[in-house]
Amino acid sequence: MTLLVRGGTVVTADRSFRADVLCQGGTIVQIGPDLEAPSRAEVVDAGGLLVMPGGIDPHTHMEMPFMGQVASDDFFTGTSAGVAGGTTMIIDFAIPGAGTSLLGAWREWSAKAEKAAADYSFHVAVTGWSEQVSEEMGTLVRDHGVNSFKHFMAYKGALMVDDDVLLRSIGRALELGAICNIHAENGDAVVHLQQRLLAAGITGPEAHALSRPPVVEGEAAQRVIAIASVLGAPIYIVHVSTEEAAGAIAAARARGERVYGEVLAQHLVLDESVYQNADWATAAAYVMSPPFRPRHHQKALWAGLVSGNLQTTATDHCVFCAPQKAVGRDDFTKIPNGTGGVEDRLSILWHHGVGTGRLTPEEFVRVTSTNTAQIFNIYPRKGVVAPGSDADLVLWDAHASRTISVKTHHQNVDFNVFEGMEVTGLARRTIAGGKLVWDDGDLRTVRGAGCYIPRPAFSPSMQALAIRNRLTAPKGVARR
Ligand code: URQ
Ligand code: ZN
Ligand code: ZN
């Protein structure tokens, strides 16, 4: 399959320049002005459009079993919706259930993802510790292209791990050249506040936010940053939603610690007023962890993206329909946690980021694609428009507008958290794996066209450096 993207302006994380892009067999082979169209090449018009690397969403949960439900977007519907919004790759989470090993979970998710319409990869969750867990982390890194392991400091009794497991697992990941993703909320504090709220008869969705105040995220972020510092290990904190956690990350980076932070499109533009909605189902539809915050926290999140202290944007796409949410009708702790956004992340970031002058188009590319590719070690295969890179491109119309709605979205869920928002900036066309799969409203995704993207371990030198730094006896202290 040969495809020539003609007449656009290429935008990468570093620069923008007028050029055509020639793709053959899923790979970009040439970039330059006025390229000849080889015979039988499909010519795709990019006149007036920006040609950017396809978005990479580092945080999704397609068909995830959670809180007694299964998320309603599966790997085909979820990746197809992503493509309609310009996202050409997702990194999902393989999470071992009771009695399932890490390798078992990886195999389970691999089977589920075979239907994906666009490329995907998996972080693997560590939900407990044993010699087997340690060994399987090694096998996953060595043989299965996994270089990141997820840890939940919340969801007590389900996914939560304690400091001992964090120390062992983050230390093991460092040895292996892998990085750890962290859901940073103090799970014990959450359970304590949930019980107090229920005891006080406060059972609605508004109690969800009250049971997870900003300090609960701030404390956990500080704690895991300290734990990583003890080990000299890099960490990646997911869905940072508060100024407390953003501040902790910025301070750690100012100390020279390798701490990364991820922000969700949802937390950048939505606030806690959503839980005050008189309609129970509407308020419940916004129940996710961490919850939406008082509006002033958004300022710290945008500042983090602009300053580079927060590096990636994601959606934590984990959607449940109203009947699934309604399971928590009388007890907010039973409402399956999760919201969606995989189709709208890029438009939200462009409209509220570039449209407001907070971000340049190059920085937009950085926080929607390039940084994720670099942090998870798949750059320059992914995350850039360059010869040799995968032909995953979004042809972006910076001037067109659309109104986000459940009536028109492609996500397999009966609610859209951005309902009614008018946004400027949208994916006019999307190319995934060298094929035109979204063309001006025409979704042409193919079941199973997506490929598993192995992510190699980080270079041994980085590991050795960190270990040596940490284990060297302080100056003037004689070795015994
Ligand atoms: O915590 C997560 O990332 C998963 C379980 C999705 N749900 C959510 O509310 N964020
Ligand atoms: Zn989480
Ligand atoms: Zn998540």
In the predicted structure, residue 463 carries a pLDDT above the cut 80: no
In the predicted structure, residue 461 carries a pLDDT above the cut 70: no
DSSP readout, 25-75? TTEEEEEETT----TTPEEEE-TT-EEEEPEEEEEE-TT-EETTEE-S--H
205 lines ligand 1 (CB under 6 A): no
Query: pLDDT by residue (tens digit) across 183-196?
Result: 999 999 999 999 99
- For 45, 89, 166, 293, 473, the CA distances from 378, given in Å and listed in that order, are 28, 11, 25, 33, 35
SS3 229: helix
Distance 238 CA to ligand 1 centre (A): 10
Structural contact between residues 427 and 62, judged by C-beta atoms closer than 8 angstroms: no
* Closest by CA position to 139, among listed 183, 180, 107, 182: 107
Q: H or E stretch including 18?
A: strand 16-24
Query: pLDDT by residue (tens digit) across 215-230?
Result: 999 999 999 999 999 9
- For 117, 305, 356, the CA distances from 88, given in Å and listed in that order, are 9, 21, 25
Position 464 scores a pLDDT of 56
- For 10, 52, 93, 441, the CA distances from 395, given in Å and listed in that order, are 9, 6, 28, 13
C-alpha 263/C-alpha 424 separation (Å) is: 21
Query: Ligand nearest 93 Cα, by number?
Result: 3
Choose one of 183, 217, 286 to mutate for the ligand 1 pocket test, by most ligand atoms within 8 angstroms of C-beta: 183
Query: pLDDT by residue (tens digit) across 96-144?
Result: 998 899 999 999 999 999 999 999 999 999 999 999 999 999 999 999 9
Position 458 scores a pLDDT of 85
338 lines ligand 1 (CB under 6 A): yes
Choose one of 61, 127, 236 to mutate for the ligand 1 pocket test, by most ligand atoms within 8 angstroms of C-beta: 61
Position 98 scores a pLDDT of 84
Does this model's pTM top 0.85?
yes
Query: pLDDT by residue (tens digit) across 234-292?
Result: 999 999 999 999 999 999 999 999 999 999 999 999 999 999 999 999 999 999 999 99
* Nearest CA owner, ligand 1 atom 10: 289
* Nearest CA owner, ligand 1 atom 4: 338
Q: Which amino acid is at 397?
A: D
C-alpha 337/C-alpha 288 separation (Å) is: 4
Give the mean model confidence (pLDDT) for residues 395-400. Answer: 98
Position 460 scores a pLDDT of 58
SS3 77: helix
